[in-house]
Amino acid sequence: MGMKKKVKLKKELSLADIIAISTGAMISSGLFLLPGIAAHQAGPAVFLSYLIAAVLILPAMFSMSELASATPRAGGDYFFIDRSLGPLFGTIGGIGTYLALVMKTSFALVGIGAYATLFFEIPVKFTAVTFGVIFMIMNILGVKKASGIQKIFVLIIIIILGSFIAEGFREIFFTGKSNEYMGNFSPFLPEGFEGLISTAGLVFVSYLGLTKIVSMSEEIRNPERNIPMGMILSLAITTVIYVLGVFVMTAVIPPDQFWNDLAPASSASERVFNVIPPVAGTILIVVAAVTAFASTGNAGLMTASRYPLAMARDRLLPGELARIGRFNTPFVSIIITSAILILVILFVSEREIAKLASSFQLMIFMLINASVIVMRNSRIETYDPGYHSPFYPWMQIFGILSSFFLIIYMGWSAGLTIMGIGGLGIIWYRQYARKYTKREGAIYHWFALLGQKEHKALENEFLHILKDKGLRDGDPFGEMIVQSRVTDLGRKRVSFKSLVTDVTKKFAQDLGSVDKGELKQEFLSVTAIDPALVVPRVSILHAKTEKIDQPMLHVVLSDKGVRKPVMKGEISSEDNIRVFFFLLSRSDDPKQQLRLLSRLIDIVERENFVENITALKNHREIKEYLLHNDRYITLHLEKGTATEEFFNKALKDIRLPVDVLVAIIQRKDQIFTPRGDTVLREKDIVTIIGEPKGIKALFNIYIHRQQSGQHGGTESV
């Protein structure tokens, strides 16, 4: 039986989706339920507790952004902890975060029921369970559908709360009642600094939605840009709403009433809305509350279901949880998560959930900050984050210490919760997961200096992640292909060492002062492994030198094949290679070399790659095949077509989109790279590379219009 191909989740989420999911997951209980409870400890300074909590989550946010930009995989902080600290800590982190998300999501669903009872005589838990089933169906049908509704939820919430805050500030500062309202802020810190900090730990749960983005990072487009930007923007939006909104509540609601109010936003709305009738303002706030709880419930279920998926992929949980359904969603994990949500709604007290979720999430954040330190010190070359946390490692050390002290300030129950979930994770790992798990985390690479055993497969896994992420802006892959040498050996027989010697000489001719012996030895030194490349009859060899400005590539094709030695573990053998790639990169940019290698691996994994590339007739076609994607187009300059306008014109005089360039010209049997003064002629075959937008414009002008006229339809390139 062949190995099943792992189904990948689609990259459907944009920056707007990220902000919507994260913001919607944060604005709910933190504003509509917790302020009155939190004011019991912090007093009128409660709004500062929200600000302190936002500041203290910054190290974890920056660390998660770095880790997610390096390894965008479903499971988020579980995946980061597992790959850095090892599967034992990964099991603890995965189970704990999953349960925290489940509890917080169930609390949001109960919130829907609680606010709905203000309008309808329906039992709270019945409403909560009903919405749980609705969100389950939405998530099974597809993440894009769910995130589309999420954006509507968040837009409604921000508009209503923005109006509430604006009306509140008008009421507080511009109606002549400022002295009365400011009197509610005295005494400002009735429980002192300790009450302020312990309250910051309590309201920490209000920002846990920030973690939901990284658990879905596998489904995010351009994760290196969108994850950190989305997290920063959503945290900024939420912090402003929390701090200003709670400030308004503290000012307009008398302290004795505020401290016992489980719906302070509704009570405050009765006092601040004057532009519209207070009853209408209260209705708007209730609508915002129900919408906020609904968005949290939707995003919470969406995110929580990705943790069993990721852990099942790693065999820490039963494999059935990794199944992807017809709508490309982890339907088994969604159904089981929904069932647990319903059980929590029916049998767990809501009041304890916030504290439990906050305390364990603080522990997770300690592990996340430690993970960044481990990853950087492991010096794994394939760890290539597109975003780097600022102020490393002091940012991470501050995050670890601040989380630890918050847990202490929150009391014994927080510590016991951490110990309980940790013990559960250890028992599960030892009794079930350990027998299926052979890997270790990046921490073994760090401690390799002390003689510990490294887990080599981790580097290969990260290389495959690089392949999935694709090239970074500025990586000169297209230029490298255009300028590459191509050698077709035909049916000529050569030895592997003589081939390496010949290729090395050609590189030396192009570079001049490079040490041929050193370069040859570097190419030969990697031939025993070819890690992460599982395509037969293909070999990718690579070397680095400081004598180069831009990466260089030499492609060698052979009909007969070249016998090349290979080693897999303790097994030595030979492989008959028909396609070689010799990549020479700058020694001061090893990360770029890995991205270029990962792109080459992606290309050679195309179906029937060897047969297709060796069947091509000339170097232009070979280079076009390697370039093939939405960033290139080939134009045949012929009479009677739109390309006739190019005849007898120099390239510098031709108006093309600004983000494209003419890379290759084939003129009869001659293939060359043009210059600005190169004059185009009839029958030339012109290869153009560039950004997808510019390539699409050229396609519409020079190919689509011609095809439509000839065939009455369209074709795609």
Q: What is the per-residue DSSP string for 106-175?
A: HHHHHHHHHHHTTTS---HHHHHHHHHHHHHHHHHH-HHHHHHHHHHHHHHHHHHHHHHHHHHHHHHHSS
Gap between the Cα atoms of 154 and 626, Å rounded: 43
pLDDT tens digit sequence for 686-710: 888 887 788 888 877 876 555 445 4
- Per-residue pLDDT, averaged over 106-116, amounts to 77
- Over 90: is that where the pLDDT of 55 sits? yes
Whole-number pLDDT of residue 58: 93
Q: Which CATH number describes the domain made up of 629-711?
A: 3.30.70.1450
Whole-number pLDDT of residue 706: 52
Neighbours of 573 (CB within 10 A): 9
Residue of 383, 577, 564 lying closest to 469 (CA atoms) = 383
Tokens representing residue 24 in the block: 């919607």
Tokens representing residue 88 in the block: 């034992």
- Over 50: is that where the pLDDT of 570 sits? no
Extents of the domains making up the chain: 15-434, 471-622, 629-711
Residue 393 — very low, low, confident or very high, per pLDDT cuts 50/70/90?
very high
Tokens representing residue 535 in the block: 């395509």
H or E element at residue 49: helix 46-56
- Over 50: is that where the pLDDT of 717 sits? no
Range from 95-99, 559-563, 587-591 that averages highest in pLDDT = 559-563
Give the type of residue at 255: P
| CA 181, 186, 192, 195 torsion-angle sign | negative
- Over 50: is that where the pLDDT of 178 sits? yes
Contact call for residues 632 and 688 (beta carbons, < 8 A): yes
Identify the residue with better confidence: 80 or 678: 678
pLDDT tens digit sequence for 433-476: 777 776 665 555 555 544 455 555 666 666 666 666 667 777 88
Q: What is the CATH architecture assignment of 15-434?
A: Up-down Bundle (1.20)
Whole-number pLDDT of residue 573: 57
Residue with tokens 């060796």: 614
- Over 60: is that where the pLDDT of 213 sits? yes
Gap between the Cα atoms of 218 and 685, Å rounded: 39
Percentage of the chain with pLDDT > 70? 84
Residue with tokens 């990220």: 18
pTM of the model: 0.70
- Per-residue pLDDT, averaged over 648-653, amounts to 90
Range from 186-195, 327-336, 502-511, 622-631 that averages highest in pLDDT = 502-511
Are 15-434 and 629-711 in the same CATH fold? Answer: no
Phi, psi of 139 (to 5 degrees): -70, -35
- Over 50: is that where the pLDDT of 716 sits? no
Beta strand spans in 437-570 (E):
485-488, 538-545, 552-568
Percentage of the chain with pLDDT > 90? 13
Residue 251 — very low, low, confident or very high, per pLDDT cuts 50/70/90?
very high
- Per-residue pLDDT, averaged over 184-197, amounts to 85
Beta-strand pair 571-586/552-568: antiparallel
The CATH number for 471-622, chosen from 3.40.930.10, 1.20.1250.20, 3.40.50.300, 3.40.630.10, is: 3.40.930.10
Identify the residue with better confidence: 553 or 410: 553
The alpha helices in 512-642, defined as continuous H runs, are 516-525, 590-604, 609-614, 619-627
